[in-house]
A and B are shown apart, each in its own frame.
Chain A
Amino acid sequence: MALLQISEPGQSAAPHQHKLAVGIDLGTTNSLVATVRSGMSSVLIDDDGHALLPSVVRYLADGNVDVGYEAQAAQSIDPANTIVSAKRFMGRSLAEIDVSTQPYHFVENASGTEKQSASEKPFETKKMVRIQTRAGVKSAVEISAEILKSLKTRAEKSLGGELVGAVITVPAYFDDAQRQATKDAARLAGLNVLRLLNEPTAAAVAYGLDNNVAGTYVIYDLGGGTFDVSILKLSKGVFEVLSTNGDSALGGDDFDRRIFCWLLEQSHCKPLNANDTRLLLTKAREAKEWLTDHANAQITSVLSTGEVIDLTLSAKKFNELTQTLVAKTLNPTKKALRDADLSIDDIKGVVMVGGATRMPQIRLAVADFFKQTPLTNLDPDKVVALGAAIQANTLAGNKSDADLLLLDVIPLSLGLETMGGLVEKVIPRNSTLPIARAQEFTTFKDGQTAMSIHVLQGERELVSDCRSLAKFELRGIPPLVAGSARIRVTFTVDADGLLSVSAREMTTNIEANIVVKPSYGLSEEQILTMLQSSFGAAETDKQARALAEAKVEATSLILAIEAALQQDSALLTQSEIESILAALADLKTLSNGQDSQAIHQATEALNVATEAFAAKRMDASVSRALSGKSVESLDL
């Protein structure tokens, strides 16, 4: 539910007041928050002048939580409770994680069985992996929420007010489970998500508006834990993603790991404990960064056993150790080009994003592949946040002439499980969003009132080779003779890249009730429990909050409808206007009362009453756009 920041219901917000919105880069290694002020996008710094917030969260003995540099400093002394790179665990099960160098106590929440196929009984939800800390069992969602909370506090302090919303970036190659996990984390942090934005697209926005040259660009984004390559076409303020590919488990961390393994081999030390593992990984990262500008890196360290590590790593050796990783980034790159039907000759520029692209061998490999020098004029650590802030500014409604349009795509195909453990593709990868597809099903038993649909994401043909997203249970199907029901299931992927499902039985026109069981996510109940525990459990508090939320929702709808009527009442007949005004008056009266249920109902009634109006406004808006006249912004 959107928590819009309006102080008193009934008080109309000044329509042209600048709305505080930010862009957040929730990175594997570092996170940032940026905003647009006076037309300029800039990263917000903390009290110590830092722009970057290390994505490190430490759970302390006194119940507090450290986020950022403080937590990072403690990672070698308290590795089990200091979580680094939590992004790598978002929407993932234990089986999908390389635990060999992780010092955490992982807990799997599954009931044990690893069956993927819905046709085998019983289907167990696998659940996202969690970590046992001194503060309890934590999922990547909760850990990420701490990082987001920290950035939210920084932003509100810096900007002197409450945020209307945030655009949060995700790797383009994140699947539905990983995206949903990100949105859940934002919700726990009390952030209203305006849009989940793909990191390469965000970078393109920052570069595009900076350089302002039309053409087809490749965004090569190598972060701490993820790799994305996107191909975008820029023209007249429209950023159209042509294709995207990547590896959501490949990043700078893997380069650190190669150095780490080399250190173990060369030093012949005994098997390491958690503290020493974290210590050496940190040294490995420092060496990697040092080698960006130097020919040799000295790695010295004293382990807890007293053993001394003292080795010199040359840039040449480092390149040798990590050659295959670099090559691994080129495969998705080739695939993205093929999917877009392009060759390297069609590419106007290659943009480097992500701290890991500072490595000289990466820049060389990319320059060699594309036969051109990549663009690096914007800080690769900040460019994503800057682009996200630009979009946040537009989406929040600050720009009166909304000239920026981002057309993004779904990175992985969506499919359904069919007989024999096969996947039938319903929505192909690289389809422009939003997209919807309908599929018809029927019942196989007389009187069957429920049905289960297993949705997966991936390019392979077998269920076992794709990622299980969720099981959608359709209930309330009208009982009919087997095979005569025509259940039309519509799969919709929104602009955030998130899937929703609706179903209708066509002969009776009855809408089915859908219960979603995510395979790797938190259920709605779990999230609500977490939210409530963070607010405190008093019953009266809950009711007061529910009432406040209902009033805020009502007020924003009233404002929107009044503005719409002011602009476009000419599209309506007198009686249509009157019925809308009646519903408006009803809602206004009730929203001054204390009955949140009644307010919800009246809000819904007003929504329904204005559906036809919304349709007419859209028709008019599209006609105007097609006839070449400028599209007037909706004064909301």
Chain B
Amino acid sequence: MSALNTGIADNHTYFELFGLTPQFNLDLAKLESNYRSIQSASHPDRFVTASPAEKLRSMQTATLANEAYQALKNPASRAQYLLALQGVDAIAETNTAMPADFLMQQMEWREAIDDARQAKNIDALDSLLAEIQQESRALQARLVDSIDDKKNLALATDATRKLIFIDKVCADIKQLIARLEE
């Protein structure tokens, strides 16, 4: 995860930027509230008539706050970031093995998506989306357990990779629905 390494969080983590404990089970309300506080203090709109040096700092800080907020808000990227902080790259090339049952499920989902696309069945895609989002929530519960409680990196990495994968499938379904609706 490339932090731009500029702005207030030079050598600080995204969690430190927002004053949050680094864990998967995040207080989202606090994240949002602290994000707003930082933007209130650093947003370019506050520096329209300021000196160029301050404008530059404002851009760097506000940009970083946006990047950090997005990274922590999304469960998949949050998990990936937490692992990165512990030196683990969840999507490294060497890490391509996926358990067979997960691969089977992926294939079933892909087939269902293709069928729905051919039949232009938006309702089927909507219910598939709901089903997959359910699976995502189950994975997230597992991540709270493995990253925060048991601190089991192997299990956490496994769950994270699945979550990232599922995130992508959901995004693809949404895009497909949007196209079919046109």
Contact = CB atoms under 8 A, between A and B. Distances in A.
Interface stretch (B61-69, B87-95, B147-155): B61-69
B45 interface: yes
B41 A607 contact: no
Interface in A405-435: 405-407, 431-435
B66 A560 contact: no
Interface residues of B, number: 42
Contacts of A335: 178, 181
Contact of A610 (B19, B53, B58, B69): B53
Residue from B2, B46, B61 having most chain A Cβ neighbours under 10 A: B46
Interface stretch (A65-73, A154-162, A392-400, A516-524): A392-400
Contacts of B44: 434, 494-495
Contacts of A338: 174, 177-178
Given A431-B66, A619-B8, A613 B53 contact: yes
A618 B61 contact: yes
A433 B45 CA distance: 11
A326 interface: no
Contacts of A492: 59, 63
B50 interface: yes
Interface stretch (A46-54, A447-455, A527-535, A620-628): A620-628
Given A435-B66, A438-B2, A634-B50, A395 B37 contact: no
Interface residues of A, number: 52
A410 to B, nearest CB: 11
Q: Considering residues B39, B41, B49, which has the most beta carbons from chain A within 10 angstroms of its beta carbon?
A: B49
B81 to A, nearest CB: 16
A394 B50 contact: no
B38 A622 contact: yes
A334 B48 contact: no
Nearest to A628: B37
B181 A626 contact: no
B182 interface: yes
A434 B181 contact: no
A396 B57 CA distance: 19
Contacts of A619: 8
Given A405-B39, A626-B38, A614 B46 contact: no
B36 interface: yes
B42 interface: yes
A406 B45 contact: yes
Contacts, number: 127
B54 A614 contact: yes
Interface in B1-44: 2, 4, 7-8, 18-19, 34, 36-44
Nearest to A630: B40
A195 B51 CA distance: 16
Contact of B53 (A405, A433, A435, A607): A607
A194 B49 CA distance: 9
A72 B80 CA distance: 59
A625 B40 contact: yes
B57 A614 contact: yes
A345 interface: no
Nearest to A402: B46
A537 interface: no
Interface in A603-621: 607-608, 610-611, 613-615, 617-619, 621
Contacts of A560: 49-51, 54
A617 B51 CA distance: 12
Given A436-B4, A614-B57, A607 B52 contact: yes
A636 interface: yes
A347 interface: no
A611 B56 contact: yes
Interface of A: 165, 194-195, 238, 331, 334-335, 338, 391, 394-397, 402, 405-407, 431-436, 438, 490, 492, 494-495, 556-557, 560-561, 564, 607-608, 610-611, 613-615, 617-619, 621-622, 624-626, 628, 631, 634, 636
Given A195-B45, A432-B70, A560-B49, 14 more contacts: A331-B181, A338-B174, A394-B45, A395-B48, A434-B44, A434-B62, A438-B2, A557-B52, A610-B53, A618-B41, A618-B54, A622-B8, A625-B38, A626-B18
17 contacts: A331-B181, A334-B178, A394-B45, A396-B48, A432-B66, A432-B70, A434-B59, A436-B67, A557-B52, A610-B53, A611-B57, A615-B57, A618-B41, A626-B38, A628-B37, A634-B46, A634-B47
Nearest 5 pairs between A and B by C-beta? Answer: A614-B53, A625-B41, A625-B37, A560-B51, A395-B48
